[in-house]
Amino acid sequence: MTRFGAAVFALLVLAGACSATSPTPQPTSTTLAQTPTTTRAPAPVSGTEGAPGLGDSYYPDLGNGGYDAQSYTVAITWDPAVGTLTGTTSMVAIATQNLSTFYVDFGELSLIEITVNGAAALASKTDSSDINLLVEPTQPIAVGETFELVITYSGRPATIRSVALPIDAGWTTAPDGTSYVVTEPDGAYSWFPVNDHPLDKALFRFEITVPDGITAVANGVNTEMITDIGSNTWIWEGTQPMAPYLATVVIGDVVIVNDEAGSAQSGIPIRNVLPPELAANPPAALALQGEMLNYFAEIFGPYPFATYGIASVEGFQAALENQTLSVFGADIVRSGFFETVLVHEIAHQWIGNWVSLADWSDIWLNEGFATYAEWLWEENQRGPQARDALIAEAYATVEGLAPLAPGAPPPDDLFAFSVYNRGGLALHALRQEVGDDTFFAILRRYTDRYANDNARTVDFIEVAQEVSGIDLSDLFNRWLYQPELPPLP
């Protein structure tokens, strides 16, 4: 909906004259909670509509403008027997402009009630598959004002097809009944209302109510348990801001296993969430996480979060670096390359989660770095020759594929192979060019500068040139933006 269209729509609603002949798209879902009984003071400000996107060059619909989310409380009740979810999500945000109306990303679950600062608000969409839900508070919100949006909703969360990759994502229920959430780069909106772009990081608290005997885990630390008759509410909280796509829950017949040795070794409480069979028989590599946390703390800076661990789920064929709780397909956990994927997802906690993307087109900053982290770990564990063997293998594989510049992958194939491997090779080319001391100093200045913040490729190049004193534009241009693959560094 255009800014103008929405303004017209708001006026029509206020006038009670939203007729079928209106040129404005008709809302498919309008929720009116109770009519306010008190007379309101005149609105102190007038405002305009917040933007329906955050200007992402690949996915302009993701996220919304006009406010800055500070914190979310996502309270959900999950009934595994029927597959239904009832949720109440609160978003506390600060208006960055005077807002008459604003958008929040929300998928296809049914709206029950919407309030802004406790007063019933209107909400509408152009059609049910549109992720931009327009919210109209009873009175405008002034720039700088902190406001609370509370949405109650219910339904059967379904998997979604992301804009960026050809696999099912979102809220997924595995064949063994375990439910889990994987939503990079988009899809957080399929289970709670959200400003779904990494540019708007916020604090998260999860309150997950499930039947007795079922375990519910989310990002962060289990700060509280509320016991009721037949059900329990599991409360999980993060201490650091998080990009919404990293929000996750894992609910099912799973066991939370504390890694006492790894926790003692790293100083970071490590807890893994495993199906009973893996909890009884964990693969040896799982014990390496404490050492990995220590190693990457040296490379990228102190581990940024309060806890870490993996959650393993059956039937999932990938791994995703959800903040403090990477989700792993159980087949990967049982595979011979588990150690490599463990390294990759741990490295993402710094690179991607702590230092986040400002634009999805720069995805190589996440995946190229996490791939290079695999090679650094190999070098640390088994020496430079073992590392070079991995690099040669990656180069040979990239060479055998159609050339694809990792700095600008296709928007519908964001996680293309080249983004990972040629992205990693670009970092190795940089290391060869500037030498080890400068290379590692670049990594540290980059994470220091953009911690808890967002970066673009130009920001990394700027740091690399600043630390090295070398003009690196040609190197990065050839490795990231020209289709032709440069020679093995």
What are the residues binding ligand TRP (CB under 6 A)? 165, 169, 182, 184, 318-321, 344-345, 348, 367, 415
Least Å distance between CB 46 and ligand TRP? Answer: 41
Q: Which residues neighbour 86 within 8 Å (Cβ) at sequence distance 6 or greater?
A: 76, 77, 152, 153, 154
Least Å distance between CB 416 and ligand TRP? Answer: 11
Which residue, 24 or 219, is less far from Zn ion as judged by CB? 219
Least Å distance between CB 320 and ligand TRP? Answer: 4
Which residue, 125 or 344, is less far from ligand TRP as judged by CB? 344
Q: Which does 125 bind (CB under 5 to 8 A by kind): ligand TRP, Zn ion, none?
A: none
Helix (H) or strand (E) holding 99: strand 99-105
Which residue stretch of 174-182, 218-226, 361-369, 389-397 sits at the interface with Zn ion (rule: CB under 5 A)? 361-369
Tokens encoding 359: 């634009």
Q: Which does 318 bind (CB under 5 to 8 A by kind): ligand TRP, Zn ion, none?
A: ligand TRP
Beta bridge partners of 151: 89, 114
Helix (H, G, I), strand (E, B) or coil at 225: strand
Which residue, 108 or 367, is less far from Zn ion as judged by CB? 367
How far apart CA 483 and CA 139 sit, in angstroms, is 52
Name the residue among 195, 166, 193, 190 with its Cα closest to residue 180.
190
Beta bridge partners of 134: 103, 124
Burial class from Cβ neighbours inside 10 Å (0-12, 13-18, 19+) for residue 265 reads: middle
Which residue, 377 or 415, is less far from ligand TRP as judged by CB? 415
Burial class from Cβ neighbours inside 10 Å (0-12, 13-18, 19+) for residue 19 reads: exposed
Which residue, 18 or 318, is less far from ligand TRP as judged by CB? 318
Q: Which does 182 bind (CB under 5 to 8 A by kind): Zn ion, ligand TRP, none?
A: ligand TRP
Q: Which does 184 bind (CB under 5 to 8 A by kind): ligand TRP, Zn ion, none?
A: ligand TRP
Least Å distance between CB 443 and Zn ion? Answer: 17
Which residue, 419 or 472, is less far from ligand TRP as judged by CB? 419
Least Å distance between CB 245 and Zn ion? Answer: 12
CB atoms within 10 A of CB 461: 17
Least Å distance between CB 167 and ligand TRP? Answer: 6
Q: Does 370 bind Zn ion (CB under 5 A)?
A: yes
What's the count of helices (H) and strands (E) in the chain, helices before strands?
12, 24
Question: In this structure, are residues 467 and 445 in contact, taking their beta carbons and an 8 Å threshold?
Answer: yes
Q: Which does 310 bind (CB under 5 to 8 A by kind): ligand TRP, Zn ion, none?
A: none
Tokens encoding 352: 């991607």
Least Å distance between CB 271 and ligand TRP? Answer: 20
Name the residue among 474, 385, 367 with its Cα closest to residue 429.
474
Handedness of CA 311, 317, 321, 323 (dihedral sign): negative
Diameter over CA atoms, the chain: 76
Distances (CA, A) of 324 to 7, 219, 248: 41, 6, 10
Place of tokens 């992958």: 409
Which residue stretch of 65-73, 185-193, 201-209, 362-370 sits at the interface with Zn ion (rule: CB under 5 A)? 362-370
Q: Which does 387 bind (CB under 5 to 8 A by kind): Zn ion, ligand TRP, none?
A: none
Least Å distance between CB 327 and ligand TRP? Answer: 8
Least Å distance between CB 445 and ligand TRP? Answer: 24
Which residue, 319 or 475, is less far from ligand TRP as judged by CB? 319
Compute the C-alpha angle 67/73/75, nearest 5°: 135
Least Å distance between CB 388 and ligand TRP? Answer: 23
Which residue stretch of 154-162, 184-192, 275-283, 369-377 sits at the interface with Zn ion (rule: CB under 5 A)? 369-377
Helix (H) or strand (E) holding 298: helix 289-300
Which residue, 67 or 191, is less far from ligand TRP as judged by CB? 191
Which residue, 11 or 167, is less far from ligand TRP as judged by CB? 167
Q: Which residues neighbour 406 within 8 Å (Cβ) at sequence distance 6 or greater?
A: 364, 368, 416, 418, 419, 422, 423, 426, 479, 480
Which residue, 105 or 367, is less far from ligand TRP as judged by CB? 367
Binding site for Zn ion (CB under 5 A): 367, 370
